[in-house]
Amino acid sequence: MEHAHTDLPNLHRPLPPSPKTVADLMTSPPVSAESDESLAAAASRMSDHGVGSVLVLAGSRLAGILTERDLVRAGAAGADPSTATVGDWMTADPDSVGPDVEVVDAWRSLVAHGYRHIPVIEGDEVRGVVSIRDLVRVAQLRPVDGVFTDVPRGLEGVVAAETAVGSVRGVEGFYHYRQYSAIELAKRRSFEDVWHLLFDGELAGPDDAAGFATEVAPLRALPVGVARLLPQLVSAAGGAPPLDQLRTAVSLLGTAEGFQATRDLGRSEIRRDALRVCAVIPTLVAALWRTGRGEEAVEPREGLGFSANYLNMLFGEEPSAAHARAIERYLISTIDHGLNASTFTARVVTSTGADVAAAVVAGIAALSGPLHGGAPSRALDTLDAIGTPDRIDAFIREAVERGDRIMGFGHRVYKTLDPRSEMMREIAEELGGPLVDFAEQVEQTVVAVLDEMKPGRRLYTNVEFYAGVVMELCGIPRELFTPTFAVSRAVGWCAHLLEQAADNRIIRPSSRYVGPPAPQPVPELASVAPPAAEHDPSHRTKLAGRRPYPKNSRARRSNIETDICSDSTSTRSSSPWNIVVN
């Protein structure tokens, strides 16, 4: 696939789909050489074919790769290209990628290792070579000035925001909040301390921590009007998942408390609303769940920390210190994790100037998708399906043969051990029990079977695998696993929306049209008689007696002022009717 860099593409025909894997981009068959050939001969072949490397073959086996960079090194060392051989300057036994590797993963591999070219191998067969130039053609972003933007599907690897909240370094297996390791924070600090860090930018000392706890504690209680309506919400929901009920309840909260558009507020006011939402979400989750079970909601209790209070509101009794601390570490570890789907969604909504509750509701909606927030319970469902230790090996092998996804394994970002999973395994081992032993047997078997059946495709447990085990051991029902995730992630969403609102520009990307060429003539239809009502004098008489707008409506004709903007970033209209067409 080639892209013109100077001429606009033909807008009258659909563009071909973007490459997805290395096979779509690689040079195949590759230009090759033998190790005893001269550098001059190899360089001439590279020039003739317009490539930056040759693969060095020993029979049909890949022995090495010689690149333009190697030729430069040889020249700098004073080597005679007519007598120096390819074998003297090639990189022997080079790393390789498979043809089915996604473009973004190949890009990351080249960047991480400093390569400019990498062979493509399938089994023992040399299929081709892919260069960083090939990948740049797909990864680059061009201005939206009539030229279409080419990015990887799912925006993977695309930088869409600058943030000081935290980041994920997937190749290293590390992530952090502000400047601190998230795992170290989970092990050493309270939930409230990390919440303060993400909202206010610094870890609280003893005095600040006490002050923050005092600020948050009264915000946990439900507004009387909202509490009164929750039974009706649960009844109307008709058994809908608790996360869906939470979404509606947060929207109700924002309306009941009169949250205003973030565009009209200063940081302190946005922070106030964000604190309120984050503090009350655990109360909402517990109240909705208990109401659905026919039980009375439990009020927040003074003197209990964030996680202990959550468990107390769920079960009506103070949790053990071990359970409270186990859940607290889980909650801290899941507050934020880069620009994931729900966090990006919350930032997009905030970029429109919407209120805090609207952004959090949008985050909850994104989290409701099983590809984002539903895996902890699904991982436990897998353990249930396996049943007993003697069935582990056969179950996993059959799943791999069918190409099924093994829930709780693999991650979109991490290419090594998920640090959250390691910590959750440690917590599970602290709690102990047959379920922990069984989960560890399953983990070991999955890794071993994949090494055997899919060499080179090693998968590791992600946070959901042992998180499900820990929550099960602490008594949290599976239908509350994802709402519990939302309890912590709401703090991350709000940290991001505070950041977005502080330096805002509406997030407005473009799409790449791939439909039929336009414009085309609109087909003529047979003549159709106008509706009979238009010819009915009595109908006109009825209409004449109606008010054009409801009495006392804000929409009276005399009060309407419309501000139609061609650019959504234009200055705000002074009219209460600021209608933006975009």
Q: Which residues are catalytic?
A: 411, 464
Cβ-proximal residues to 144 (8 Å cutoff; 6+ apart), any chain: 510
- Residue 207: closest CA among 193, 188, 187, 186: 193
What's 436-477 look like in SS3?
HHHHHHHHHHHHHHHHHHCCCCCCCECHHHHHHHHHHHCCCC
Q: Kind and range of the H or E element at 254?
A: helix 242-256
Pairing of strands 117-122, 174-177: unpaired
Residue type, 282: P
User: Which one, of 300, 298, 294, 315, lies nearest residue 234 by Cα?
Assistant: 294
* Bridge partners, residue 120, by sequence: 97, 128
Q: Of 254, 253, 493, which Cα lies nearest the Cα of 372?
A: 493
Q: Report the alpha-carbon distance of residue 499 to residue 23 in Å, rounded.
A: 40
CB burial readout 22-34, b (16+ within 10 A) else e: bbbbbbeebbbbb
**Token pair 């249930």: residue:** 384
Angle at which helices 463-473 and 321-333 cross, to 10° = 160
Contacts of 247 (CB under 8 A, 6+ apart): 361, 364, 365, 368
Distance CA 409, CA 345 (A): 25
| Residue 305 φ/ψ, nearest 5 degrees | -70, 180
Angle at 276 between CA 270 and CA 282, to 5 degrees: 140
Bridge partner residues of 53 (DSSP): 67
DSSP bridge partners of 409: 461
Cβ atoms of 152 and 136 within 8 Å: the answer is: no
**Phi, psi torsion values for 150, nearest 5 degrees:** -110, 120
